[in-house]
Structure 1
């Protein structure tokens, strides 16, 4: 699983399927290039908080992706997690359940 770094990949993922949850919005877009690898990107805007808060949320998202995405992610797709302020205080087990639910929703 690799990380998205280029702006064009994030913009392309914005055109894919979305699943809003209380702590994040999941965007998933099939790349259609035949590569089965999953890629993940994280976005937390300055409206959420200062750099410390944003980095803490992104660390939680990275741990979340490591635990849920390998078994529930969409193969050959780009995944983007857009953080909301609830991501900082929500229980990690509930975040895992939310991500699994969002992945099931997007896979339909």
Structure 2
């Protein structure tokens, strides 16, 4: 996923957590709110409780790949999305995380 579609700054994460709406599955929690920028920005929050650095970085890579597949449908929306991983996400592969993200995007009506 290109840098322009990533949420990076702490203040942006805090704004999404404070003002956003949330939806959850067993492995992921999705927060989202409108932004002032053009296009979608996605950030990931993965606690040390999920696993060591290798596990957390693998999850971020897989989730970036998942959102890369959704990017054509999300590109024209101006929202910030933060995905929080729960401990069960450490054992999940690409397909399972793709299904969870798909459920969350449809549940939140970001994608119809």
Structure 2 length as normaliser, TM-score? 0.82
Q: Distance in 2 between matches of 1:25 and 1:4?
A: 16
Q: Distance in 2 between matches of 1:69 and 1:17?
A: 20
Residues 1:2 and 2:9 are matched in the alignment: no
Q: 1:101 to 1:73 in 2, by over 3 A?
A: farther
> Structure 2: 5+ residue runs without aligned partners?
none
Structure 1 length as normaliser, TM-score? 0.85
Q: Deviation string for 1:26-60 (max 9, x for gaps)?
A: 111111x3x44100101101111111111111111
Q: Select the residue among 50, 53, 64 that pairs with 1:51.
A: 53
Q: Distance in 2 between matches of 1:94 and 1:68?
A: 15
Q: Once the 2 structures are TM-superposed, how far is the Cα of residue 91 of structure 1 from its aligned partner?
A: 3.6
* Structure 1 vs Structure 2 CA RMSD: 1.9
Pairs within 5 Å for 1:83-98: 83-98=85-100
Once superposed, which parts of structure 1, at least 4 consecutive aligned residues long, lie more than 6 Å away? none
Q: Distance in 2 between matches of 1:5 and 1:102?
A: 21
| Residue aligning to 1:26 | 30
The aligned length equals 106
Residue aligned with 1:47, SS = coil
Residue aligned with 1:66, SS = helix
